[in-house]
Structure 1
């Protein structure tokens, strides 16, 4: 099983909306590296849900409910993909980007190194550390 970090602006689609919806299509990814990460996701993989731009913090955990398939919102001939995700739980305490950057075990996360990407891999150690820092157990 792999772990990932997915980003959404809370004004567009907050984690609370995923909890309310129970499942969503993770669409609109228009970067080839992020798209390739979507295509590597497997059903059951866990995802850190990150609020970008406003809040800038990991706030929840989601899981991949359906593996990658063609993005129905893409224009004809475009090669984009989506996955479906469902909520697992909210973090007890959000883990801010500032905290991640200053934490010795998290400062090299793809979130920091590849900050423009909306979907990035997370190592098992990083995933466990974020949960610990967020005072959250699965």
Structure 2
């Protein structure tokens, strides 16, 4: 899985996605966040674990941008660059979190269950979702 923790950006896929988001032109960032969240929120299609991880990282970035959770110092510029667009995707971020955590059949859930860490991973997602709910 390439994870060093159960936090939403504590694995290789999420960290790489956030790095790519930071490297993207500022004008491209909001569409990238929206796309990751839309893929995860769409219950009409299967969601693989990497897509879920990217969506959860996107949800956390949204929470940073709307100032609902503490932003790590290295991501302040990213959060500021999305502050204007982020409020419009808060409901989408919450829907993505809900979809990912709603079923034990999700690949993301199965991976954490196999590692014996599903409760910790779910707690991290729920904390971000609760923060988004304000």
TM-score > 0.5 by shorter chain: no
Where on the TM-score scale, by shorter chain, does this alignment land: which range?
under 0.3
Higher normalized strand content (fraction of residues): 1
Task: Identify, as 1 or 2, the structure richer in helix.
Answer: 2
TM-score by structure 1 length? 0.27
